[in-house]
Each structure stands twice: as structure tokens, then as C-alpha cells.
Amino acid sequence: MQKITEIKEFHIFKKRKTVNGETIFVEEKVLRYREIPYVEGWARFGHFLLDYVFRLIFGLFFGVLLGLVLALTNNVEFLQDPNFDLYNRLFSWLILYPMYYFIFEFTMQASPAKAILGRVVIDEYGNKPSPKQFFIRSISKTVPLEVFSCLSTLGWHDTWSNTFVIRKKDLAELKLLQKINDIGDTSVSLPKES
């Protein structure tokens, strides 16, 4: 199967040319690699903000569940430890935060925010990433200030795990182009949206 970064398509360019003192436009057909329609910048930061709300709910649910387990096992002295707040923050940041992304992205191929907004996480072939790639993606998000890397084309977690975030609609188009290119017919290209 072909990588989505290697999909070729024809583009037609109109060039202005002067022939015998007269300006004419000449169409030139060029075969080039198709650009990947990444979800970029502020849209990705929006995913982060919306997922932040969902992570709070996820953490609250997990905290209530943990509290019930501690109460039922009569192990509440742990809650009175002077370092409990530190343990809680470290657990939330290093365990719950990546666990949230791993669970949702592995099962749905998108976090709740991405799913709501019609985005999907894919690998370099346009398929669902492997569990290892999802794990690397999830752990990478614990790096301080990593969220700001998403304001560019690819976030650090995308680069480190070799994954992409694109719209579901664009994924269907890429899959079609992959099939066309696999057959060997590179003369067909889909029209660009205006």
C-alpha cells in the first residue's frame, strides 16, 4: 500500500507566455505529490481546549471511583498523607492524562473532541495507527509545553509517533486516491475545494 505522503496527482497551471508580441496563456500539466490536508494550528488548539473539559470529567469519574475503592477497603489514611496533593498531581499528569488519550484514540481513532469535530488520527498509510503509535502519541503529550507544538503543521506527538490528524472527509478522498495510484492511473485527480 502506498503512503499518503507519496500520492501523486496532476495539477494544471496556466502560464502567461508572449508569442510574436502577443500574450497568451498556456496550460501546463505537472505531476506532483499531493499535499496532506492536515488539521492545523488553531483548530488543533481547539481540540486541546475541548479535550481539557472532557479530561476533567474523566479525572473526576476516576477520582470518585478511586475514592469509593479506598472507602470500601477502609484505606483512607492515604488521603491524609501530607504529600497526597503531589501524588495526585503526578498521577493525573503522568498516568491519567496519557491514559485518557490512549483509551479514546485507540478505541475510536480520535479523542472525544476530535470525534465531535469530525477529525481522525491516521498513520502514514491512512490506516488506524498501531497500539505502539497510540502509546507514543499519548506519552508524548506529557512533555511540558507540547500543546503549543500543535500551532504548527504537526505537533511533536504526531512527529514522534509518525501519525497525522486529518478530517474524516479528507481521509475518504486520500483512500480513493491511494486506490487510483495503486492501480497505476495517475492521470485522474480530484478537484480542489474552493
Confidence of residue 194 (pLDDT cuts 50, 70, 90): very low
Work out the average pLDDT over 44-69: 91
pLDDT value at residue 193: 53
> Could you tell me if 113 and 77 lie in one domain?
yes
Secondary structure of 95-116 in the HEC alphabet? HHHHHHHHHHHHHHCCCHHHHH
> Could you tell me if 93 and 63 lie in one domain?
yes
pLDDT value at residue 154: 87
Axis crossing angle, helix 131-140 with helix 97-108, rounded to the nearest 10: 150
Work out the average pLDDT over 171-177: 88
Does residue 43 have a pLDDT over 80?
Answer: yes
Confidence of residue 114 (pLDDT cuts 50, 70, 90): very high
Secondary structure of 51-97 in the HEC alphabet? HHHHHHHHHHHHHHHHHHHHHHCCCHHHHHCCCHHHHHHHHHHHHHH
**Which helix H or strand E contains 123, and what residues bound it?**
none
> Could you tell me if 16 and 108 lie in one domain?
no
> Could you tell me if 33 and 45 lie in one domain?
no
The number of domains in the chain is: 2
pLDDT value at residue 185: 54
Does residue 191 have a pLDDT over 80?
Answer: no
Q: Please check whether residue 183 lies inside any domain of the structure.
A: no
Axis crossing angle, helix 97-108 with helix 41-72, rounded to the nearest 10: 110
Work out the average pLDDT over 61-68: 88
> Could you tell me if 12 and 96 lie in one domain?
no
> Could you tell me if 100 and 10 lie in one domain?
no
Work out the average pLDDT over 53-82: 86
> Could you tell me if 33 and 98 lie in one domain?
no
Nearby residues of 148 by Cβ (< 8 Å), 6 or more positions away: none
Domain ranges, residue 18: 4-37
Q: Please check whether residue 82 lies inside any domain of the structure.
A: yes
> Could you tell me if 75 and 9 lie in one domain?
no
> Could you tell me if 61 and 117 lie in one domain?
yes
Taking the C-alpha atoms of residue 160 and residue 169, their distance in angstroms, rounded to an integer, is: 25
Mean pLDDT of the chain: 86
Q: Please check whether residue 191 lies inside any domain of the structure.
A: no
The C-alpha torsion from 147 through 150 and 156 to 159, rounded to 10°, is 150
- Tens-digit pLDDT profile for residues 128-146: 999 999 999 999 999 988 8
Taking the C-alpha atoms of residue 142 and residue 81, their distance in angstroms, rounded to an integer, is: 25
Q: Please check whether residue 185 lies inside any domain of the structure.
A: no
> Could you tell me if 19 and 67 lie in one domain?
no
pTM of the entire predicted model: 0.78
- Tens-digit pLDDT profile for residues 4-34: 888 887 878 888 888 888 888 888 888 888 8
Q: Please check whether residue 190 lies inside any domain of the structure.
A: no
